[in-house]
Amino acid sequence: MGYGNWDDTAYRAGKTYRARQGVDDFGYTAEMRAKPYDTWCAHPLLDPFGVGKRECRDSAEHGNSLPVAVLFDVTGSMGRVPRIMQDKLGKLHGLLKNKGYAQDPQVLFGAIGDADTDRVPLQVGQFESDNRMDEQLRAILLEGGGGGQKSESYELAAYFMAEHVATDAWDKRGKKGYLFLIGDELNKPRLAARHIRAVIGDHVRRDVSVESIYRELEQRWHVYYILPNQSSYYRDPEIAEHWTALLGQNFLKLDDPGAVCELIALTIGLGEDRIDLDTGLADLRDVGSSDEADAVGRALGSKPGPTLRALPPGR
């Protein structure tokens, strides 16, 4: 009936849409936004409470399953990065397969918040190898909370991955999976028993040291921490020192968060000895990801050879 904008052009519209690119709002977040905050909860697909085990199993056609878990921080300090993760990570499985970096990858996605202040401090999906991965990504709630004290509940996620995941890769082949935590803050000072009880439902009575939960985790997982640019603490030396102390050279800084899939894929390809770094970066340029290649090259320290070298902290 009435209509106002007679001079709208494709260019102007395109500008509006470009301003929002990579900000695909996965419906569950929009759904929750429409409700009072005190009713927000994890999507049933991703609720870690009382789940028993998340399983990564071989199947008839995929007899060599490789577990890959990616959990990203969704608190406010991460800025737009969680949106970019949601948008980009859907490509990860295809990238691993197409490049032959992993034979039968199965990917699990999850999200990390602050168990002291958030409604939904932990979300963990299932290991998937098809388009159900997209569904999981869409179902991740981007709460955007956090407590403002420069720490998030990564150690709670680490506990879940250590205690509530079973993989054929480990059970049958003694092979470690790959776990990537993406965030920009510190662990909580201790893994709090009350957080475990409230969020995961295990009847744990005593707090656990952060150091010990990562040691346990590393028995069955290659654990990486990725600090992406565009988050609040990208240049904060305290963050780099904290994670380097825990994970050594598996602390990685990524200056273009849009290259997260490429960094993860290449890291796995290197870890599996499927590729060397220069070939991997050349692969990326071949598929037109030259900006991503540059970012990944910087994150991994572009030097041939199967070993990874992280950037020195604080650069």
Partner 1 sequence: MSPMFGDRHLVVVDLGFGDAGKGATVDWLCSPEADLGVAAVVRFNGGGQAAHNVVADGRHHTFAQFGSGTLAGVPTLLSRHMLVEPIALAAESEQLAALGVPDPLGLLAVDGRALLTTPIHIAANRAREDARGTSRHGSCGRGIGETAWYALENDAPTVADCRAPDVLRAKLDRLAAHYEDLIGPSAHGYESVDALVAMYRDFARAVRITGPAELARLAQAGRLVFEGAQGVLLDEWRGLHPHTTWSTVEPRNARAMIRDIGATAAVLGVTRTYMTRHGAGPLPTEAPLGFPEPHNGTGHYQGAFRQGHLDPILLRYAIDVCGGIDGLVVNHLDVPGTLCAAVAYETSTGRTTEVVPGRWRDLDHQQRLTDQLFDATPILAPIETDPAAWLAERLRVPVVLTGHGPDRRDRATDSGKRAAEVGEQGRIGAHVP
Interface residues with partner 1 (CB under 8 A) are 1-5, 8-14, 16-27, 29-31, 33-35
Least distance to partner 1, CB of residue 108, Å? 21
Compare residues 11 and 273 and give the one whose CB is closer to partner 1.
11
Shortest approach of partner 1 to residue 260 CB, angstroms?
A: 17
**37 vs 49, beta carbon nearer partner 1:** 37
Closer Cβ to partner 1, 83 or 274, answer by number? 83
Least spacing, CB of residue 98 vs partner 1, in Å: 20
Nearer residue to partner 1 within complex by CB, 131 or 219: 131
Burial (Cβ within 10 Å: 0-12, 13-18, ≥19) of residue 24: middle
Pairing of strands 165-167, 151-152: unpaired
First to last CA, the chain: 57
- In the bound state with partner 1, the residue whose beta carbon lies nearer, of 41 and 198, is 41
- Least distance from C-beta 226 to partner 1, angstroms? 24
- Residue 178: CA count within 13 A, CB half-sphere: 26
Number of CB atoms found within 10 A of residue 132's CB: 14
Q: How far is the CB of 285 from partner 1 (least distance, A)?
A: 22
CB of 24 to partner 1, least distance (A): 5
Specify whether the CB–CB gap between 107 and 127 falls below 8 A. yes
Closest Cα to residue 164, out of 182, 145, 186, 179?
A: 179
In the chain, DSSP assigns E strands to 54-56, 65-73, 104-112, 122-124, 151-152, 165-167, 177-182, 186-187, 190-191, 208-209, 221-228, 251-254
Q: Which is nearer to partner 1, 140 or 210 (CB)?
A: 140
Residue 42: CB partners within 8 Å, gap ≥ 6? 48, 49, 120, 122, 123, 141
Can you tell me the distance from the alpha carbon of 214 to that of 158, in angstroms, rounded to the nearest whole number? 7
Nearer to partner 1, 13 or 245 (CB): 13
Chain Cα centroid distance, residue 146: 17
- Measured CA to CA, the distance from residue 12 to residue 15 in angstroms comes to 5
Minimum distance, C-beta of residue 22 to partner 1, in the bound complex (Å): 8
